[in-house]
Structure 1
């Protein structure tokens, strides 16, 4: 968990403002949920490995003796000690929110959530115990249009942040399950098999096959999968036709899965206007780790970095855990902590901001009059008394997000000072 100096905070808020504005432009509405959820909800088996990283909150009224007694039990029952926890993502709270307020929401609900989450990570570069998530979700639409809306909105947001050239890798968990079924992997070994497949970029086909054998996966299934990996192929296929999708998958994948992927590619192409220039690729080995995904999954990539900048997928079964009936849902999350470091200073700076550098002898009333004139025009203003090291003062102001400066002398009329760029 980190402190942020003014310059860092200004940068983060500006980037968040751009993300929020683009999400809203695409018809999504912002909601807010509590930072805490019930322990039973956070540990309902739908959060994957994140459940192990949850910060749990002791029940009020427990004394030290009660905690020691619970700790002395052969098996620690955390639920006996904790009834709440800090949210580890925004998807589980959204599912609970929708189940609670469904009657007050439209039949197809487009949600924005921009808020901090907490995980008990081991602190290291790029991994924090408190970090921001920027989610958009569509609940109530089972068609490829929902995924296409999320993809188009996310790419538009990336462009608005000055990070043009992003692309989306897509796959479908049903295609992955079908692939494992075709090769003959047993149902109980598939979670581990998927973990290994997810390492394909890092360890290659030989490493994947070796690790699957070390895991004790079904030998014939590993042999069949290894043979499939070694056939001439590319990792990326344009998802604009059935032939491309079929080429990337083994025989036996359900027609409805292929049809959904093809329809998604065509819908995104129609939304973007030019199919030849659609940054969308089909990757049959894209896994994503969350266990609650039931259909399409996707990741946001950018040529400037080797890691993903966001992702998401369809989780049609989650809301039913709270509502008692399944409701189609799909979401996309931008990796804010990764993106904020890539955004240029010009995008993160305030659109109109000025530092008024004044001499010591300028009356306070005059300074406030100058400031009021700029504020009235929509400009952010900071007053700074002139120092010997004017260059250092201006550099600090630029780092804090200011774009211009003006010097103020005694007797100058408001609006008559010369404004100069800090660029």
Structure 2
């Protein structure tokens, strides 16, 4: 968890403003949910490994004896927890407020979440998530809207050249079935397959043999991974060529429709890449899954997928849903520190004897003209004062004496 100095905070807010503006331009509406959710909801088996990282909140009023008696049962110790993502809260929000929402609801959520994990580069215990979700649309149009909007965000931030890796959990299930893995061993197999980018095909096969997965199935997967490598085109022929026989036609048709829809919005060279071994570990995904990539880094800048089964857990009836989460912290780290992006911001450096009413009047005049203004009394070390002002995002300064007026004020650049 981190503190942010003024310049850092301003930079983050500028990026958030771009994300918010572009998502709103694509027809999404912003909502807000509480930072806490019920413990039982956060630990309902929907959050994958993130459930283990949830910060729990001790029940109010428990004495020492009660805490000792419940020490072996986390659910007896806590009834609330800090949210570890924004998807579980959204599902609860929709189930609670459905009558007041449109049939197809497009939501924006931009808020902090918390996970009790070991911090590392690009990952924190408290971090900002920027999510868009579409609830109530089972077609490929929903996924396409999320992808087009998120690529638009990258472009607007100056990170052109992004691409999206796409797969479908139903493709993974059908592939594992075709290779011969038993249903009860598939979750463990997927955990290993998800390491393909890190340990390579031979590492995946070796780990599966160490796990004593079905021998013939591992042999079939090994042979599949050993086939000549090719980047499949995102069309019916390309997707089928990248997959073993037996993948349901309706799943391939959904992916093809998605590719055609994104291509219509982004042009013939739509930046979608079919990756049959993209897994994504969240337990609630039921269909299409995707990750946002950029050539400047070897890690994803966001991702998401379809989670048609989650809202039904709270509502009692199935509702289609799909979401995309921008990796805000990683994107902020990638962007250059470009100051205030053209904002007019002025430091008025005044002498000690300038009347207070004159100072405030000058400041108010500049503020009324649209500037951001700070008052600073002149000091001996003016270089340090001006350097600090520039670091805080100010772009100009002016000296104010007892005779200075609004018309005689001379602005000078700080850089």
1:243 maps onto 2:237 in alignment: yes
State the superposition RMSD in angstroms.
1.5
Residue matched to 1:344: 336
Relative distance call for 1:237 and 1:370 in structure 2 (3 A) is farther
- Checking the alignment, whether the CA contact within 8 Å between 1:167 and 1:300 is kept in structure 2 is yes
1:323 maps onto 2:315 in alignment: yes
State the shift of 1:210 in Å. 0.4
- Counterparts of 1:170-249 in structure 2, within 5 Å, are 170-234=166-230, 236-239=231-234, 241-249=235-243
CA distance in 1, matches of 2:30, 2:200: 41
CA distance in 2, matches of 1:28, 1:416: 47
- Checking the alignment, whether the CA contact within 8 Å between 2:340 and 2:394 is kept in structure 1 is no
CA distance in 2, matches of 1:327, 1:59: 33
Q: Figure out how many residues of one structure are paired with residues of the other and give that number.
A: 415
- Checking the alignment, whether the CA contact within 8 Å between 1:58 and 1:84 is kept in structure 2 is yes
Residue matched to 1:52: 52
Q: Which moved more, 1:350-359 or 1:262-271?
A: 350-359
SS of alignment partner, residue 346 of structure 2: strand
1:142 maps onto 2:134 in alignment: no
Residue matched to 1:270: 264
State the shift of 1:107 in Å. 0.3
Question: Which of 262, 275, 286 is 2:278 aligned to?
Answer: 286
Residue matched to 1:25: 25
1:312 maps onto 2:298 in alignment: no
Residue matched to 2:356: 364
State the shift of 1:168 in Å. 1.0
- Checking the alignment, whether the CA contact within 8 Å between 1:370 and 1:414 is kept in structure 2 is yes
Residue matched to 1:156: 152
- Checking the alignment, whether the CA contact within 8 Å between 1:350 and 1:401 is kept in structure 2 is no
Question: Which of 254, 258, 261 is 2:252 aligned to?
Answer: 258
- Counterparts of 1:401-420 in structure 2, within 5 Å, are 401-420=393-412
SS of alignment partner, residue 346 of structure 1: coil
Q: Which moved more, 1:323-332 or 1:53-62?
A: 53-62
CA distance in 1, matches of 2:274, 2:339: 31
Relative distance call for 1:275 and 1:415 in structure 2 (3 A) is farther
Residues 49-101 of structure 1: per-residue CA shift (max 9 Å, x gap): 11111111121111110111222xxxx22111211111111000000000000
1:119 maps onto 2:115 in alignment: yes
- Checking the alignment, whether the CA contact within 8 Å between 1:171 and 1:282 is kept in structure 2 is yes
1:109 maps onto 2:105 in alignment: yes
Residue matched to 1:4: 4
Residues 139-184 of structure 1: per-residue CA shift (max 9 Å, x gap): 0011111111111111111122222221111111111111111101
State the shift of 1:404 in Å. 2.7
State the shift of 1:350 in Å. 6.4
Residues 98-136 of structure 1: per-residue CA shift (max 9 Å, x gap): 000000000000001111111111233333211111101
- Checking the alignment, whether the CA contact within 8 Å between 2:95 and 2:311 is kept in structure 1 is yes
State the shift of 1:247 in Å. 1.2
CA distance in 1, matches of 2:376, 2:262: 50
CA distance in 2, matches of 1:36, 1:282: 37
State the shift of 1:343 in Å. 1.7
Residue matched to 2:38: 38
CA distance in 1, matches of 2:288, 2:391: 41
CA distance in 2, matches of 1:237, 1:354: 54
1:386 maps onto 2:359 in alignment: no
CA distance in 2, matches of 1:343, 1:292: 32
- Checking the alignment, whether the CA contact within 8 Å between 1:233 and 1:248 is kept in structure 2 is no
CA distance in 2, matches of 1:260, 1:420: 59
Q: Which moved more, 1:189-198 or 1:105-114?
A: 189-198
SS of alignment partner, residue 355 of structure 1: strand
State the shift of 1:250 in Å. 1.1
CA distance in 1, matches of 2:378, 2:320: 60
SS of alignment partner, residue 238 of structure 2: helix
SS of alignment partner, residue 310 of structure 2: coil
State the shift of 1:260 in Å. 0.8
CA distance in 2, matches of 1:350, 1:322: 47
SS of alignment partner, residue 275 of structure 1: coil
Residues 260-302 of structure 1: per-residue CA shift (max 9 Å, x gap): 1111111011112x212x2221111111111111111111111
What's the TM-score once normalised by structure 1's chain length? 0.94
1:97 maps onto 2:88 in alignment: no
What's the TM-score once normalised by structure 2's chain length? 0.96
Residues 382-419 of structure 1: per-residue CA shift (max 9 Å, x gap): 12223343333233222222233333333222254233
- Checking the alignment, whether the CA contact within 8 Å between 1:135 and 1:331 is kept in structure 2 is yes
